[in-house]
Amino acid sequence: MSSILSEILEAAKTVRAIAQGMAVTLSYIPKQKLTRQYPDVPVELYPRFRGEHYLARDENGKERCVACFLCAAACPADAIYIEADEDLRPYEERPGVEPRYARVYNIDYGRCILCGYCVEACPKDAIKHGHNFEMAVTNFADLVKDKQYLLSNLEREKTRNLTIRSDA
């Protein structure tokens, strides 16, 4: 008799829990919906939004990265791959400000968690987060972005149809 009573009580608790859940769900039906009309209307992002990275240049157009490997060491996902090289040409002919530069600089966005540790670790302010959030691809190999892509990302950053919120 007690087992039947406990099963009835358990069923009553289950029905009550389902009814409460459905009440919450049904209460949202009459409320006004908030739909973003993207891409017709610009997306509002906060200034500290961490999107796709870009490699910065100095005021003379030279690359800031000196291949110190601090960003790769700080990356918890091991998403940054760098190969360093020495360029002993005169300053005017070098791609960067220092003789040492990153010959290869790749970020694998299949692994990157956009945590910002690489930006914090960089002593030269060479790598920064942009505001690009459209990183969907159909092939995993396309998630690996190379140095030329990251250097040109700053120019793409300037032309994006975004609204940066000022109330952050």
Q: What does the pLDDT look like over 45-57, one tens digit per residue?
A: 888 889 999 999 9
- The backbone region for 116, taken as left when phi is positive above 0, alpha when psi lies in -120 to 50, beta otherwise, is left
Reply yes or no on whether the pLDDT at 120 is more than 80: yes
Residue 37 annotated as part of some ligand binding site: no
Confidence of residue 167 (pLDDT cuts 50, 70, 90): low
Residue 50 annotated as part of some ligand binding site: no
Residue 122 annotated as part of some ligand binding site: yes
**Residue 131 burial by CB count (10 A; 0-12/13-18/19+): exposed, middle or buried?**
middle
Residue 71 annotated as part of some ligand binding site: yes
Q: What are the residue ranges spanned by the domains of the chain?
A: 1-34, 43-164
Its pTM stands at 0.74
On the CB side of 60, CA atoms within 13 Å amount to: 11
Residue 65 annotated as part of some ligand binding site: yes
Task: Spell out the CATH class of 43-164.
Answer: alpha beta
Provide the 3-class DSSP secondary structure of residue 104.
strand
Reply yes or no on whether the pLDDT at 162 is more than 70: no
Residue 74 annotated as part of some ligand binding site: no
Reply yes or no on whether the pLDDT at 168 is more than 70: no
Output the pLDDT for position 157.
77
Output the pLDDT for position 22.
96
Query: Which is more confidently placed, 7 or 33?
Result: 7
Share of the chain above pLDDT 70, in %: 95
Among 163, 93, 108, 168, residue whose Cα is nearest residue 140: 108
